[in-house]
């Protein structure tokens, strides 16, 4: 069953992600793909994440497919203009890639090529419209395609953005532009997330809650001080502190598993997107503890 069919079937979906490496040695990446095969419903492949130059998302999506895992092609507008984006979308489609996650993309100043010219010819809302249009057999300029694409397109949303309302206005624009599913920025406060979901449920889109494992109390504080749109509640920081250095990571895995279990048991959202950020080997452990394996 495809990712789209699984999501539409009502099953609680789990996605994870693979970050392409910088360089051509892909042994570790393949190991991660093999590790997650048969466990997750789809694997996101990031697009030069944090504006750091790496292997392109499309090539890695093809490798993911070859390992019988369904890829979600992350596509940002930072590095390609509308010609490049559409051309890559057509290319991805003929390679068998069916899921695309449309994003604007971190600014080049966040990455390792700060002198690069950022493109941003279009942005996330417009990219969703473009995918919609390609699915309907037309390119962005209105020209007919010889063969339409059949993408299942998604987008991202930050439920804990501050201020929230401008973010929600954009969320609604993304829904109207054709987004079928959303993967959220990491969430840690389930009650606050429930408030977001009671709003988001007004729209017929699928929502996958973002899960990022906390490795330590220090990491949690760092996130609160530096990462936009994520807020770790003090209780969780205290819980990690109380666990001590030795057991902090294990506690972080427990917190992630506990949140996933609650999201599923209380039917709060349609699934989770686990961003392991270098700890892909821990994803099966979290899933096991959440009762998903």
DSSP output for 80-143 = --HHHHHHHHHHHHHTT--EEEEE----GGGSS-TTS----SS-HHHHHHHHHHHHTTB-TTSP
The smaller minimum CB distance to other proteins, of residues 230 and 286, is found at 230
Taking the complex as a whole, the smallest distance from the CB of residue 158 to other proteins amounts, in Å, to 5
- Rounded Cα distance, 256 and 265, in Å: 14
Taking the complex as a whole, the smallest distance from the CB of residue 118 to other proteins amounts, in Å, to 7
The sign of the CA dihedral 202, 175, 209, 41 is positive
Taking the complex as a whole, the smallest distance from the CB of residue 20 to other proteins amounts, in Å, to 20
Taking the complex as a whole, the smallest distance from the CB of residue 51 to other proteins amounts, in Å, to 11
> Which residues of this chain interact with other proteins, rule CB under 8 A?
78, 82, 103-107, 109-110, 118, 120-126, 129, 140, 156, 158, 161-163, 165-167, 169-170, 172-173, 176-177, 185, 227-229
The smaller minimum CB distance to other proteins, of residues 109 and 242, is found at 109
The smaller minimum CB distance to other proteins, of residues 59 and 110, is found at 110
Residues near 73 by beta carbon (within 8 Å), at least 6 away in sequence: 45, 47, 57, 58, 61, 92, 97, 99, 100, 101
The smaller minimum CB distance to other proteins, of residues 62 and 82, is found at 82
- Rounded Cα distance, 209 and 140, in Å: 31
Q: Which residues pair with 245 in a beta bridge?
A: none
Taking the complex as a whole, the smallest distance from the CB of residue 125 to other proteins amounts, in Å, to 4
The smaller minimum CB distance to other proteins, of residues 35 and 164, is found at 164
Burial class of 39 by CB neighbour count within 10 A (0 to 12, 13 to 18, 19+)? middle
DSSP state of 231: -
Taking the complex as a whole, the smallest distance from the CB of residue 37 to other proteins amounts, in Å, to 29
- Rounded Cα distance, 6 and 160, in Å: 27
The smaller minimum CB distance to other proteins, of residues 8 and 132, is found at 132
- Rounded Cα distance, 80 and 87, in Å: 10
């Amino acid at each position: 069953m495809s990712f789209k069919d699984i999501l539409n079937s009502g099953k609680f979906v789990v996605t994870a992600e693979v970050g392409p490496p910088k360089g051509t040695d892909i042994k570790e990446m393949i190991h991660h793909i093999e590790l997650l095969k048969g466990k997750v419903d789809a694997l996101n492949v990031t697009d030069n994440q944090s504006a750091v130059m790496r292997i392109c998302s499309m090539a890695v999506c093809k490798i993911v497919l070859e390992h019988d895992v369904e890829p979600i092609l992350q596509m940002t507008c930072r590095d390609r203009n509308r010609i490049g984006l559409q051309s890559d979308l057509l290319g991805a489609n003929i390679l068998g890639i069916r899921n695309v996650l449309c994003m604007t993309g971190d600014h080049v100043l966040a990455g390792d090529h700060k002198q690069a010219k950022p493109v941003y010819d279009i942005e996330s809302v417009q990219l969703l419209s473009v995918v919609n249009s390609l699915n309907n057999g037309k390119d962005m300029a209105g020209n007919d395609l010889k063969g339409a694409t059949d993408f299942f397109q998604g987008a991202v949303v930050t439920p804990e953005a501050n201020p929230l309302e401008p973010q929600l206005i954009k969320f609604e624009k993304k829904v109207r532009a054709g987004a079928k599913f959303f993967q959220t920025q990491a969430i840690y406060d389930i009650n606050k997330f429930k408030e977001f979901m009671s709003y988001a449920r007004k729209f017929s889109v699928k929502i996958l809650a973002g899960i990022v494992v906390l490795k330590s109390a220090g990491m949690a504080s760092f996130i609160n001080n530096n990462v936009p749109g994520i807020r770790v509640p003090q209780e969780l920081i205290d819980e990690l502190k109380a666990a001590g250095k030795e057991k902090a990571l294990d506690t972080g895995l427990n917190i992630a598993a506990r949140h996933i279990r609650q999201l599923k048991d209380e039917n709060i959202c349609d699934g989770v997107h686990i961003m392991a950020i270098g700890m892909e080997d821990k994803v099966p452990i979290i899933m096991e503890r959440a009762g998903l394996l």
